[in-house]
Amino acid sequence: MRSVPGVYTGAEKARRIPMVLLDRDMVRQRAIGLHGSEDRMLDFLKQKSTSLEAQYQDRCRAREAGQTDKRLRKPTPTQPTNGRPGDPRRYMAIVQAPYVNHQTCKVDFGRFCSACARSYADHEWRRRYVSQSFAEHLHQCGQVIDGSHQIRSRNSSTST
| Neighbouring-strand partners of residue 107 | 100
Q: Can you give the pLDDT at residue 96?
A: 67
Report strand pairing: 128-129 vs 111-112. Answer: antiparallel
d(CA 157, CA 160): 10
The distance from CA 45 to its chain's CA centroid, rounded to whole angstroms, is 16
Instruction: Tell which residue, 8, 42, 21, has the closest CA to residue 95.
Output: 21
Q: Can you give the pLDDT at residue 79?
A: 62
Give the mean pLDDT per block of 10 residues along the chain (160 residues): 78 80 80 91 91 89 81 70 69 71 78 73 65 80 81 49
| Prediction pTM value | 0.46
